[in-house]
Amino acid sequence: MSVKIAVLASGSGSNLQALIDAQKKEALAGAQIVLVLSDRKDAYALTRAKEQGISTRVLSPGDFSSKGAWEAALRTALLEAEADWILLAGFLRILSGAFIDHFAGRIVNIHPSLLPRYGGEGYYGLRVHRAVLENREEESGASVHFVVEGCDEGPVILQKTVKVEPGDTPETLQKRVLEVEHEIYPEAVRRLVKGLV
């Protein structure tokens, strides 16, 4: 029986696309993306999933009476999908410790910096790259890591460095880091599925 993956995404889903492409090339060690779940009904990630015939779900926090009720629905959806791994790919919700404990060691995230630098609440999107440039760093990069209760604090699985170039703007740096994200997320998943991590 193949390993089942659920991807949680709020936005464009380019990392989801990289995972789908890897799955097609049999570069995910036989794992199958069985569910793409979003907190936003307009997330382009959902369109990408539908194009591939992958099941989708939308759980908007606004439709629930509390964060706990929303997380309970999320948990049920993941259990119903029998997800072995839960991959956060641009998922903009912070999950509670209780939720994370339920899937302990099976939730993974990708972050656009060399963690532990430029991680934690407030470091998302262009803010990460702006901070890297403001601090005149010579390098940045991307990290795939396990999810623990502290935001972006879990053990790193795989990282790759990107050199900061003279004249970089947050946007140009973001673009090069994103290319690296698309390389390392599928590779990290392949290693996880094969039990190499």
Among residues 151, 91, 147, 143, which one has the least CA distance to residue 112? 143
3-state helix, strand, coil in the chain (%, to 5): 40, 20, 40
Nearer to ligand GRF, 27 or 151 (CB): 151
Binding site for ligand GRF (CB under 6 A): 9, 11-15, 89-90, 110-112, 178, 181
Nearer to ligand GRF, 112 or 193 (CB): 112
Instruction: State the nearest-atom distance from the C-beta of 1 to ligand GRF, in Å.
Output: 28
Instruction: State the nearest-atom distance from the C-beta of 21 to ligand GRF, in Å.
Output: 13
Instruction: State the nearest-atom distance from the C-beta of 92 to ligand GRF, in Å.
Output: 8
Catalytic positions, please?
111
DSSP class of residue 112 equals S
Nearer to ligand GRF, 57 or 111 (CB): 111
Among residues 10, 5, 17, 8, which one has the least CA distance to residue 182? 17
Dihedral of CA 85/61/113/173: which sign?
positive
